[in-house]
Amino acid sequence: MHSVLQRGNSILAYALSVLAFLTFCCFISTVFLNYTTNTDIKTVKVLVKNVPDYSASREKNDLGFLTFDLKTDLTHLFNWNVKQLFLYLTAEYTTPSNELNQVVLWDKIILRGENAVLDFKNMNTKYYFWDDGNGLKSNKNITLTLSWNIIPNAGLLPNVFATGSHSFKFPVEYTTSRM
Amino acid sequence: MDFFKSIPFHMDFEGQHKAERLSRIIITLHGIVGLIWGYAIQQFSQTVYILASGFLLASILTIPPWPMYRKNALNWQPAREGDTAVTSKSKKKK
């Protein structure tokens, strides 16, 4: 009874149980926090082109170009159960062919300890704003929303939508010249 | 080989009880302190490190059979004659 190995085993098992409990406490201490915050998004330059999408069908589809300003302070979102934030900017709009279109235009990872006060001016999008048809030209209501995933040490992976979205419209004419 | 056999590996029953209780107390205390400290500075890694230090401390203090766990050796009765085969052999010799 209770040889060296048995004692080692029981200590390790108990330490791991305590670790699991502490992790659960960490999860409980943050699960009810409110992670929403206000953002300020504006579009600066908006134009739409009608060009072949070689990555898909070679048919001519609408391709939106836009630059945006983004201002927000996410510092208070970080606590001991947040490893990093994954921000992404989504454009949401309706076309005759689709009730709901969602396109991710831009994203950013903010690690804990990095500067979380964002103030971007005239940012280019990271990803192409393709429509699967001709739904962008003269579209009256495109909504830009900033959302983020909170990557925790333990627990849920919440998907938070920031308050303060921005709606804009695309021009009625295609831009034909090279930008 | 004799050298290894001469190392004591066993605790007495009182010692086992003490060792288990001591290890539980050390690890639990480090867990509580780690949780409070980690919450105070909002770093869960510190909580884990403090618990790990508690684990190491408990391992050092309670895994090896230190002399403090071998103080209450059982008082075995001396072997009685006539009980076992060995003693019967010795009887024959007489």
Query: SS3 sequence, A92-159?
Result: EECCCCCCCEEEEEEEEEEECCCCCEEEEEEEECCCCEECCCCCCCCCCCEEEEEEEEEECCCCCCCE
Does residue B92 fall inside a structural domain? no
Q: Is residue B86 part of a domain?
A: no
Contact A70, A41 (CB under 8 A): yes
- Report if residue B85 sits inside a domain: no
What is the residue extent of each domain of chain A? 1-32, 34-168
Q: Is the pLDDT of residue B93 over 50?
A: no
pLDDT for position B94: 46
The interface predicted TM-score (ipTM) is: 0.77
Domain that holds residue B65: 11-70
Model confidence pLDDT, tens digit, residues A13-63: 999 999 999 999 999 999 988 888 999 999 999 989 988 888 777 788 889
Residue B65 belongs to a domain: yes
Kindly state whether residue B79 falls inside one of the protein's structural domains: no
Q: For domain A34-168, say whether CATH 1.10.10 is its number.
A: no
Task: List the single residue in B9, B39, B62 with the smallest CB-CB distance to A80.
Answer: B39
Using a CB-CB cut-off of 8 Å, the residues of chain A touching B19 are 2, 7
**Residues from chain A contacting residue B38 (CB–CB below 8 Å):** 26, 80
Task: Provide, as residue numbers in chain A, all residues whose Cβ is less than 8 Å from the Cβ of B31.
Answer: 18-19, 21-22
pLDDT tier at B84 (50, 70, 90 boundaries)?
A: low
Q: Please tell me the total count of domains within chain B.
A: 1
Question: Mind telling me how many Å the CA of B82 is from chain A's nearest CA?
Answer: 30
Q: What percent of chain B has pLDDT over 90?
A: 45
Tell whether B17 is covered by a domain.
yes
